Amino acid sequence: MFNKVSSEPVMPGPFGRFTLQEVVASGGMADIWLCTDKNNRPHAMRVMRPEFAAERHARERFEQGCEVLASVQSHPNVIGYFEHGKIDGRMFCLMEYLEGANLKELYARHDPVMTENVAQIILDMAEGLEHIHESGYIHLDFKPENVLVSRNGGVRLVDFDLAQPLADAPIKLTKNPGTPAYMPPEQLQGKPIDQRVDIFAFGVAAYELLTNQKPFPGEDINEILKNQLNRNDFILLRQLNPDLPPPLQNVVLKCLETDPNKRFPFMSVLVRELREILYVS
């Protein structure tokens, strides 16, 4: 199913039964286009970039991401899926179009959408991850760049290319995909992992959202891991954000525990605690 892929650049204009308008985001191995259908309705279309078209592993990852997204639908905090396939030899995924920006962009510019909706955004992120786990998958690349926020504060989780089926017991990955700054110690060390890697990643993202800096900075994997294991220089959230309620700090700290057995065991437990602390719907 991966034959006849195109290495030609994708340009604005007709694309099958759609019209590509402009690139609104780029990341990984694909560009996200704003496109319209024959009724001029807007959609987001993820199109594989030509430099990856000849790489079998990249094509398989793209296809897998599309299939996982299709499997985790019907949740308000997961980006909407319509279809995927090929048009003129180019792999694509047609999704919901959301006017907004990713979470990293929002907190970098202290956007009012983020600051005015921070409690709801944190809860929505957690509920999105809860749904993914309950649908039978680990996201494995949860980070602020993969959290879209609309102009009215609506949250959508995106990018499921690295997602893996959730097994009954921790699994050892043959490769270590993802972003090191959001990986827990057991993943950085190549040990077996389970859904608690996403819980750690959620903790890193929440820490950033609430303090505007990473909990375990580092230029490479070794430095990040060293800071995770040796926490002499670790800064508590309330030292950076004194207005933060102590119970919320404690939730984030539990997510960031070095030992996965000391973290929340499931996202459902984390979500329940967040609801009690945040008093948001």
Enumerate the active-site residues. Answer: 141
User: 8 and 48 in contact (C-beta within 8 Å)?
Assistant: no
The DSSP output letter for 171 is: B
Helix (H) / strand (E) containing 223? helix 221-229
Tokens 């959408």: give the residue.
113
Cα(first)–Cα(last) distance of the chain, in Å?
44
User: 69 and 124 in contact (C-beta within 8 Å)?
Assistant: no
On the 0-12 / 13-18 / 19+ scale of CB atoms within 10 A, 124 is buried
Q: Three-state SS for 222?
A: helix
